[in-house]
Structure formats: C-alpha cells, structure tokens
Amino acid sequence: MKKKLIAGNWKMNGSLAANELLLKGLLAGIGQPPCSVAVCVPAIYLAQCQALLAGSVIELGAQDISSHESGAYTGEIAPAMLKEFGLRYVIVGHSERRQYHGETDEVVAVKAQQALGCGITPIVCVGETLKEREAGKTEEVVKRQLAAVIHANGHCISEVVVAYEPVWAIGTGLSATAEQAQQVHAVLRAQLKAASPNADRIKLLYGGSMNAANAASLLAQPDINGGLIGGASLKTQDFLTIIAAAV
C-alpha cells in the first residue's frame, strides 16, 4: 500500500513570526508520522522554511512554478530557482490560478513538465465549479484537465501527484462527502491506469476543505491517498490531527 501524503497549502498567508511559530509547533508534535508530510509556502518564505525544516520529516513545497525556464518574465520563478531550495513538491493548476490568473489546461501541463524536468514533483490540481457540477459535467471537466497533463508528460505521468479540488468546496466550509470524493477519485484513477502501467503508484489527494473533523472518513476511501489542505494547515493542532488520520 502506498504511503499517504498530507500537503499543506498556505496560500497567501504567513509572516516570519507566524511561520516560525507554526513550523516549530508542527515539529514538536509530529513525531514519526504515518504518512508523508509537506508544506507548500509562499515563495518569499522558502528560505526561512527551508532552514526551519532542515533534517525534519516535513518536506518543502512551493505554490507555483513558471512555465518558462528563464528570461524576461518579471515576477515569475524559474524551475531551477525553486530547485535550489531543496523543494520536493510544487502545486500547479490550483483552481485559484486557473480562475484569477487565466491558466489554461495547456499552461498547467507545461508547468507540470517544467517541475518534472528539474526533479520536483508537481501536485496537479483538477476540479469542477458548482455550475459545472450542477450541470452534470464533473467527470468531463476533471478528465479534460488531467488529459492535458497526461498528453504533455507521457511516460513521466507516474511521477506526478494529482489533487482533486472541487472548486465549490474550497474556502466555503463545504466539502464533498466521502462518497462523492471517492467517485471522482475513481474516475481519475481509471484515466491514469489507461495512460500508464505504473498508475497505481500515483497519489490522488482530496483538496476540498479537508479538515480535522472530516479527514478520517475521506482518507478511508480506497482511491484517496492523502489531502491537499488549505485553511486547516495553518492551525497546528488541526494539521496534526489530519496527519494522524492518514494511516
């Protein structure tokens, strides 16, 4: 059985003081976790968090990566730059990037490719809006989003992590039921199996408002191999509770 992954997405939150308090609290309480653990932090705090997490069981991740290797792209962060901070993961295609920054399926696929090219594991996000769910298009949308990444990355697809994040459940306090989440994860698993003989090694994370109260039921589902955690990853005890549930 593959080891589960719990990855925190801090989004645009944090400060030097708050980051230190949070990470020291996590390190003090985490012990030997039953799963892999990572925190994906704002780029400006990568150096601080790298130092605080050095030699620990918590791995470091970023929240975005450029689709370009280098050049005149003001404000972008190149894959090689992220690699210098010892990153294990980078989130690509988060719904907020798609919605607010106009990232297309094709751009997300190239970002995943850039991450893989420098040895960083992309956490590829897919998910439908409430309007798309109500129109019965959930499966169509997530399969289209994932298909672009599969097409661009071919034989390397088994090296990615996929996170299903129903847009309607992000930051709203709503969450898909364990059964709803499993249904979509099963669709994604089947799509990956059709694309790669090594699909069973790919971790599928649930990323729609997983919290301390619902983590155990979600993580008990056969095709849910972890969580991409938003708000709860900023609360020491909540995040530790979710980690403990990922057995």
What pLDDT, on the 0 to 100 scale, is given for residue 169? 84
For residue 134, what are the domain limits? 5-245
The CATH number assigned to the domain holding 52 equals 3.20.20.70
Judge whether 14 is annotated as a binding position: no
Question: How many structural domains are present in the chain?
Answer: 1
**Distance in angstroms (rounded) separating the CA atoms of residues 44 and 169:** 27
Known catalytic residues are 94, 165
Judge whether 9 is annotated as a binding position: yes
Provide the token pair at 17: 């003081």
Judge whether 233 is annotated as a binding position: no
What pLDDT, on the 0 to 100 scale, is given for residue 1? 56
What pLDDT, on the 0 to 100 scale, is given for residue 4? 98
Judge whether 119 is annotated as a binding position: no
**Distance in angstroms (rounded) separating the CA atoms of residues 95 and 113:** 18
What pLDDT, on the 0 to 100 scale, is given for residue 174? 72
The pLDDT tens digits of the residues spanning 176-220 come to 899 999 999 999 999 999 999 999 999 999 998 899 999 999 999
Among the listed residues 234, 191, 189, 190, the one whose alpha carbon sits nearest the alpha carbon of residue 205: 189
Judge whether 168 is annotated as a binding position: no
Judge whether 111 is annotated as a binding position: no
**Distance in angstroms (rounded) separating the CA atoms of residues 87 and 40:** 9
Judge whether 231 is annotated as a binding position: yes
Kindly give, in sequence order, each residue whose CB lies less than 8 Å from that of residue 7, ignoring residues fewer than 6 positions away: 37, 38, 39, 40, 61, 89, 123, 161, 205, 226, 227, 228, 229
What pLDDT, on the 0 to 100 scale, is given for residue 195? 95
Mean pLDDT of each 10-residue bin along the chain, 247 residues long: 92 98 98 98 98 98 97 97 96 96 98 97 96 95 98 93 92 82 97 94 94 96 97 97 98
- Cα angle value 152/155/158 (rounded, 5°): 100
